[in-house]
């Protein structure tokens, strides 16, 4: 296989829901009330959701509110997660505490979590990484025994289900992301679920003061959303996405290539009416889109599992996660790097989830403890992602499988 099978075509690394001109124009001319959160709540089957300008902003709203109720200062987060989670904790004047993952798993290690939870633990953040359904019950039991809140990070899992219910609703709080690359997108956006109705009012009050109207910022986001709608197609992604990835890889900067390089500045503002109407229009297609993605993923997971040496992360009993991409673990770092060397620049939608465990990011130095989190580090070193976009043909997928087999 040449470096790039087709220089005029590029697959996205995640299965984003494409937006059409009808979504954008309809949002400009209709007079439907811009209450996207209500449509999102109806989609999930929950009473109420609060719309924020990002998943990170939802976390800031939660933590800012909890700080008013408690003098506890520590927030336990997975050692392998989005760096924005640690940035949000620090932004609120709280201390991120890193919990390693269980060996070979995407769940927090219960033994480590038990050791870390104590009288200063404000909250624990079990996280549904890669759209996979995490074991929230175990983490929640440990957190609650220590008197801590449970914040379920479902940023990558909007629409996922557990055996008994809805991912994002088992914690005291649940957050979802509507950022680019996470399925349904407003370019940037977030949703917050609060289980206790009494706390809902508190969160709403916090959001009202913390997220002011910001017309210029909103105008920029609206342009970015329109740009996404226009450029999110295989013929334009080489320019809108792939060129930047390949430039970063040539520079030897995988953090930039994976889109992991975050600023410590967290934009906090309200989401405007037009973007909400775009969301209302697009969410009508989301159910069908997610079902097709799951069906495609299940077939491809089976194919990959037939390859000795590959592990593909799936869901526990009864879990029905969402499938933005397949998260594949290889036997060791060398094999993973051999595969990535060819596949990451190839325009086939192969990428990485988070490049490092949190202590590995230079820009988090001084913000997260520099300590050994071997299971999280091993996950970062041995995994890659295969995008699950509907544009990935069987031929594309076969080419990726062939490359993985050779790398083994």
Ligand X SMILES: *Cc1c(COP(=O)(O)O)cnc(C)c1O
Q: Which residues bind ligand X (CB under 6 A)?
A: 54-56, 81-82, 84-85, 127, 153, 155-156, 177, 179, 190
Closer by beta carbon to ligand X, 272 or else 347: 272
Which letter does DSSP use for residue 240 in this model?
I
Closer by beta carbon to ligand X, 182 or else 296: 182
Tell me the closest approach of the beta carbon of residue 190 to ligand X, in angstroms. Answer: 5
Q: How far apart are CA 101 and CA 305, in angstroms?
A: 22
Tell me the closest approach of the beta carbon of residue 54 to ligand X, in angstroms. Answer: 3
Closer by beta carbon to ligand X, 90 or else 399: 90
Q: How far apart are CA 381 and CA 2, in angstroms?
A: 25
Tell me the closest approach of the beta carbon of residue 15 to ligand X, in angstroms. Answer: 14
The CA-based angle 77-165-153, given to 5 degrees, is: 20
Closer by beta carbon to ligand X, 88 or else 117: 88
Which runs of consecutive H residues, i.e. helices, occur in 232-368?
A: 237, 243-250, 254-257, 273-282, 286-305, 333-343
Tell me the closest approach of the beta carbon of residue 374 to ligand X, in angstroms. Answer: 20
Q: How far apart are CA 10 and CA 213, in angstroms?
A: 36
Closer by beta carbon to ligand X, 84 or else 237: 84
Terminal alpha carbon distance of the chain: 16
Closer by beta carbon to ligand X, 56 or else 121: 56
As beta bridge partners, residue 151 has 173
Tell me the closest approach of the beta carbon of residue 82 to ligand X, in angstroms. Answer: 3
Nearest CA-CA partner of 336 in 286, 385, 383: 383
Tell me the closest approach of the beta carbon of residue 225 to ligand X, in angstroms. Answer: 14
**3-class DSSP assignment, residue 177:** strand
């Amino acid at each position: 296989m040449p470096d790039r099978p087709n220089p005029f075509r590029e697959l996205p690394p995640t299965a984003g829901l494409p937006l059409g001109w009808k979504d954008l124009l309809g949002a400009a001319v209709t007079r439907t009330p811009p209450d996207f959160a209500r449509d999102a709540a109806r989609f999930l089957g929950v009473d109420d959701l609060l719309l924020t300008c990002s998943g990170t902003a939802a976390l800031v709203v939660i933590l800012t509110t909890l700080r008013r109720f408690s003098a506890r200062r520590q927030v336990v987060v997975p050692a392998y997660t989005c760096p924005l989670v640690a940035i949000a904790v620090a932004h609120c004047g709280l201390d991120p505490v890193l919990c390693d993952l269980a060996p070979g798993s995407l769940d927090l290690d219960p033994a480590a979590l038990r050791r870390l939870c104590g009288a200063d633990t404000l909250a624990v953040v079990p996280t549904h990484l890669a759209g996979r359904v995490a074991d929230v019950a175990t983490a929640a039991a440990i957190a609650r025994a220590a008197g801590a809140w449970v914040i379920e990070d479902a940023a990558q899992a909007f629409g996922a289900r557990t055996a008994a219910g809805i991912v994002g609703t088992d914690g005291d709080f649940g957050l979802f992301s509507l950022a680019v690359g996470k399925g349904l997108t407003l370019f940037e956006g977030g949703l917050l679920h609060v289980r206790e109705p009494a706390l809902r009012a508190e969160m709403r009050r916090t959001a009202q003061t913390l997220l002011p109207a910001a017309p210029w910022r909103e105008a920029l986001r609206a342009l970015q959303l329109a740009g996404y709608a226009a450029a999110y197609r295989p013929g334009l992604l080489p320019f809108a996405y792939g060129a930047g990835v390949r430039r970063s890889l040539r520079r030897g900067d995988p953090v930039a290539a994976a889109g992991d390089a975050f600023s410590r500045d967290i934009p906090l503002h309200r989401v405007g009416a037009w973007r909400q109407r775009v969301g209302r229009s697009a969410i009508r297609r989301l159910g069908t889109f997610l079902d097709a993605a799951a069906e495609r993923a299940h077939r491809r997971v089976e194919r990959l599992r037939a390859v000795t040496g590959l592990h593909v992360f799936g869901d526990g009993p009864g879990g029905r996660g969402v499938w933005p991409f397949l998260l594949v673990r290889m036997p060791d770092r060398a094999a993973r790097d051999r595969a990535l060397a060819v596949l990451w620049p190839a325009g086939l939608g192969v990428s990485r989830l988070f490049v490092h465990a949190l202590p590995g990011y230079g820009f988090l130095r001084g913000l997260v403890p520099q300590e050994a989190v071997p299971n999280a580090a091993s996950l970062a070193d041995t995994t890659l992602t295969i995008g699950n976009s509907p544009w990935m043909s069987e031929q594309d997928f076969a080419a990726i499988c062939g490359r993985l087999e050779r790398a083994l």
